Structure 1
Amino acid sequence: MTSSEHTDAISRAADPVGPRAEESGTRAADGVAPAGGGTVDDVRPDGGTDARSPDPAQLVDDAEDELADQLETDADDELAAQARAMARMLGGVSTSASSLSRQVREARAEALEDHLPPSEAELPEGRFADRELSWLAFNERVLEQAEDQDLPLLERAWFLAIFASNLDEFYMVRVAGLKRRMATGMAVTAASGLSPRQVLDAISAKAKELAVRHAHVFADDVQPKLAEVGIELLHWDDLGQSEQDRLHKFFRKQIFPVLTPLAVDPAHPFPYISGLSLNLAVLVRNPASGKEHFARVKVPPLLPRFIAVDSEGRPYRPEDVPADAGGRTAFVPLEEVIGHHLDALFPGMEIIEHHTFRVTRNEDLEVEEDDAENLLKALEKELVRRRFGPAVRLEVAEGISPHVLDLLMRELQVGEKDVFHLPAPLDLTGLDLVHDLDRPSLKYPKFVPVTAQGLAEVESANPTDFFNAIRQQDILLHHPYDSFSTSVQQFIAQAAADPHVLAIKQTLYRTSGDSPIVDALIDAAEAGKQVLAIVEIKARFDEQANITWARKLEQAGVHVVYGIVGLKTHAKLCLVVRQEPDGLRRYCHVGTGNYHPKTARGYEDLGLLTCDRDVGQDLTRLFNQLSGYAPRTRFHRLLVAPRSIRPGLIERIEREIENKRAGRPAWVKFKANSIVDEAIIDALYRASQAGVPVDVVVRGICALRAGVPGLSENIRVRSILGRFLEHARIYAFGNDGDPEVWIGSADLMHRNLDRRVEALIRIVDPGQIDFLVELLDVSVADTTSTWHLGTDGWHRVNRGPDGQRLDDLQEMLMARARSRVAARR
Structure 2
Amino acid sequence: MVTSSASSPKRTSKKKSSRKPKVVEHPLSSESLFTSRETGWLNFNRRVLAEAEDARNPLLERLKFLSISGSNLDEFFMKRVGGLKRHIAYGVSPKSADGKTPLMQLQEVRQSVIPMLKDQANCFNKVLKPALEKENIHLLAWKDLTEKEKENVKKYYARNVFPVLTPLSVDPGHPFPFISNLSVSLGVTLKYPNSEEKLFARLKVPKVLPQWIRTEPESPIFRFVSLQEVIKENLADLFPSMQVLDAMVFRLTRNADSDQDQEDAEDLLEAIEEELRQRRFAEVVRLEHGPNPDPWMIKFLMEELELTEDDIYELPGELDYTDLSVISDLALPKLKFEPYSPVVTPAFMEEGPGLFNAIKMADQLVHHPFESFSASVEKFIRIASEDPKVLAIKMTLYRTGDNSPFIRSLIRAAEQGKQVVCLVELKARFDEERNIYWATELENSGVHVVYGVVGLKTHAKTALVVRQEQEGLRCYAHIGTGNFNVTTSRFYTDLGLLTAREEITNDIVEFFHYLTGRSLKNNYQHLLIAPVNMFTKFKAMIEREADHAKAGRPAHIIAKFNNFEENDLGVALYAASQKGTEIDMIVRGFCAIRPGVAGMSERMRVTSIIGRYLEHSRLFYFRNGATDPVDGEFFIGSADWMYRNLHARVEAIVPILDRALKEKCWEILQLYLKEQRQAWSMNSDGTYTKKASNDIGIHQTLMQTAKSRAKVTEETEHTE
* Same fold (TM > 0.5): yes
Deviations 1:486-514 (A, max 9, x none): 00000100000000000000000001211
Could you say which residue in structure 2 is the equivalent of 1:809?
Answer: 698
SS in 2 for 1:772: helix
Q: Does 1:351 align with 2:244?
A: yes
Using the alignment, how far apart are the partners of 1:819 and 1:249 within structure 2?
55
Could you say which residue in structure 1 is the equivalent of 2:162?
Answer: 256
Checking the alignment, whether the CA contact within 8 Å between 1:787 and 1:794 is kept in structure 2 is no
Could you say which residue in structure 1 is the equivalent of 2:501?
Answer: 612
Deviations 1:380-435 (A, max 9, x none): 12101101111111111000121211111221222212211112432111122222
Q: 1:360 aligns with which of 253, 269, 278?
A: 253
Q: Does 1:797 align with 2:690?
A: yes
Aligned ranges 1:615-634 → 2 under 5 Å: 615-634=504-523
Checking the alignment, whether the CA contact within 8 Å between 2:638 and 2:651 is kept in structure 1 is yes
Q: Cα 1:611–1:462, aligned 2, differ >3 Å: closer, same or farther?
A: closer
Using the alignment, how far apart are the partners of 2:253 and 2:262 within structure 1?
27
Q: 2:326 aligns with which of 421, 433, 453?
A: 433
Checking the alignment, whether the CA contact within 8 Å between 1:502 and 1:529 is kept in structure 2 is yes
Residue 122 of structure 1 deviates from its aligned partner by 4.1
Using the alignment, how far apart are the partners of 1:495 and 1:301 within structure 2?
41
Could you say which residue in structure 2 is the equivalent of 1:635?
Answer: 524
Q: Does 1:232 align with 2:138?
A: yes
Using the alignment, how far apart are the partners of 1:794 and 1:464 within structure 2?
52
Could you say which residue in structure 2 is the equivalent of 1:665?
Answer: 554
Q: 2:578 aligns with which of 680, 689, 694?
A: 689
Could you say which residue in structure 2 is the equivalent of 1:70?
Answer: none
Q: Cα 1:783–1:218, aligned 2, differ >3 Å: closer, same or farther?
A: closer
Using the alignment, how far apart are the partners of 2:580 and 2:346 within structure 1?
38
Aligned ranges 1:363-378 → 2 under 5 Å: 363-378=256-271
Residue 121 of structure 1 deviates from its aligned partner by 7.0
Aligned ranges 1:221-620 → 2 under 5 Å: 221-310=127-216, 327-455=220-348, 459=349, 461-463=350-352, 465-620=354-509
Counterpart residue type for residue 264 of structure 1? V
Residue 309 of structure 1 deviates from its aligned partner by 2.8
SS in 1 for 2:174: coil
SS in 1 for 2:245: strand
Counterpart residue type for residue 172 of structure 2? P
Deviations 1:58-103 (A, max 9, x none): xxxxxxxxxxxxxxxxxxxxxxxxxxxxxxxxxxxxxxxxxxxxxx
Using the alignment, how far apart are the partners of 1:630 and 1:305 within structure 2?
52
Q: 1:724 aligns with which of 578, 603, 613?
A: 613
Could you say which residue in structure 2 is the equivalent of 1:61?
Answer: none
Checking the alignment, whether the CA contact within 8 Å between 2:672 and 2:698 is kept in structure 1 is yes
SS in 1 for 2:93: coil
Counterpart residue type for residue 580 of structure 1? E
Counterpart residue type for residue 480 of structure 1? P
Using the alignment, how far apart are the partners of 1:230 and 1:645 within structure 2?
55
SS in 1 for 2:625: helix
SS in 2 for 1:708: coil
Checking the alignment, whether the CA contact within 8 Å between 2:681 and 2:691 is kept in structure 1 is no
Counterpart residue type for residue 343 of structure 1? A
Deviations 1:742-778 (A, max 9, x none): 1100011111111110000011112211221232232
- Could you tell me which runs of 5 or more consecutive residues in structure 1 were left unpaired when the two chains were aligned: 10-118, 314-326
Residue 196 of structure 1 deviates from its aligned partner by 1.3
Deviations 1:427-457 (A, max 9, x none): 11112222211111000111100112433xx
Using the alignment, how far apart are the partners of 2:523 and 2:544 within structure 1?
22
Checking the alignment, whether the CA contact within 8 Å between 1:478 and 1:606 is kept in structure 2 is yes
Using the alignment, how far apart are the partners of 1:205 and 1:387 within structure 2?
28
Q: Does 1:127 align with 2:33?
A: yes
Could you say which residue in structure 1 is the equivalent of 2:566?
Answer: 677
Checking the alignment, whether the CA contact within 8 Å between 2:7 and 2:673 is kept in structure 1 is no
SS in 1 for 2:31: coil
Checking the alignment, whether the CA contact within 8 Å between 1:799 and 1:806 is kept in structure 2 is no
Could you say which residue in structure 2 is the equivalent of 1:734?
Answer: 623
Q: 2:97 aligns with which of 171, 178, 191?
A: 191
- Could you tell me which runs of 5 or more consecutive residues in structure 2 were left unpaired when the two chains were aligned: 1-5, 11-24, 716-720
Residue 235 of structure 1 deviates from its aligned partner by 1.3
What RMSD in Å do the two structures reach over aligned CA positions? 1.9
Which stretch has the larger CA shift, 279-288 or 513-522? 279-288
Using the alignment, how far apart are the partners of 1:376 and 1:652 within structure 2?
39
Could you say which residue in structure 2 is the equivalent of 1:761?
Answer: 654
Q: Does 1:182 align with 2:81?
A: no
Using the alignment, how far apart are the partners of 1:330 and 1:552 within structure 2?
44
TM-score by length of 2: 0.93
SS in 2 for 1:736: coil
Q: 1:217 aligns with which of 112, 120, 123?
A: 123
Residue 152 of structure 1 deviates from its aligned partner by 0.3
SS in 1 for 2:293: coil
Q: Does 1:714 align with 2:603?
A: yes
Checking the alignment, whether the CA contact within 8 Å between 1:365 and 1:383 is kept in structure 2 is no
Residue 664 of structure 1 deviates from its aligned partner by 0.9
Could you say which residue in structure 2 is the equivalent of 1:64?
Answer: none
Counterpart residue type for residue 238 of structure 2? L
Q: Cα 1:120–1:517, aligned 2, differ >3 Å: closer, same or farther?
A: farther
Aligned ranges 1:136-215 → 2 under 5 Å: 136-215=42-121
Using the alignment, how far apart are the partners of 2:687 and 2:675 within structure 1?
15
**Structure 1 residue ranges, 4+ long, deviating more than 6 angstroms after superposition:** none
Checking the alignment, whether the CA contact within 8 Å between 1:637 and 1:761 is kept in structure 2 is yes
Q: 1:749 aligns with which of 642, 654, 664?
A: 642
Could you say which residue in structure 2 is the equivalent of 1:320?
Answer: none
Checking the alignment, whether the CA contact within 8 Å between 1:359 and 1:391 is kept in structure 2 is yes
Checking the alignment, whether the CA contact within 8 Å between 2:583 and 2:603 is kept in structure 1 is yes
Counterpart residue type for residue 214 of structure 1? Q
SS in 1 for 2:641: coil
TM-score by length of 1: 0.81
SS in 1 for 2:33: coil
Q: Cα 1:813–1:128, aligned 2, differ >3 Å: closer, same or farther?
A: same
Percentage of pairs with the same residue: 45
SS in 1 for 2:493: strand
Counterpart residue type for residue 797 of structure 1? K
Q: Does 1:770 align with 2:663?
A: yes
Could you say which residue in structure 2 is the equivalent of 1:645?
Answer: 534
Counterpart residue type for residue 716 of structure 1? R
Using the alignment, how far apart are the partners of 2:187 and 2:98 within structure 1?
40
Using the alignment, how far apart are the partners of 2:7 and 2:262 within structure 1?
50
Counterpart residue type for residue 60 of structure 2? L
Residue 332 of structure 1 deviates from its aligned partner by 1.8
Residue 130 of structure 1 deviates from its aligned partner by 0.5
Using the alignment, how far apart are the partners of 1:290 and 1:663 within structure 2?
84
Counterpart residue type for residue 236 of structure 1? W
Q: Cα 1:258–1:625, aligned 2, differ >3 Å: closer, same or farther?
A: same
Q: Cα 1:434–1:329, aligned 2, differ >3 Å: closer, same or farther?
A: same
SS in 1 for 2:347: coil
Counterpart residue type for residue 428 of structure 2? A
Residue 463 of structure 1 deviates from its aligned partner by 4.6
Residue 604 of structure 1 deviates from its aligned partner by 0.2
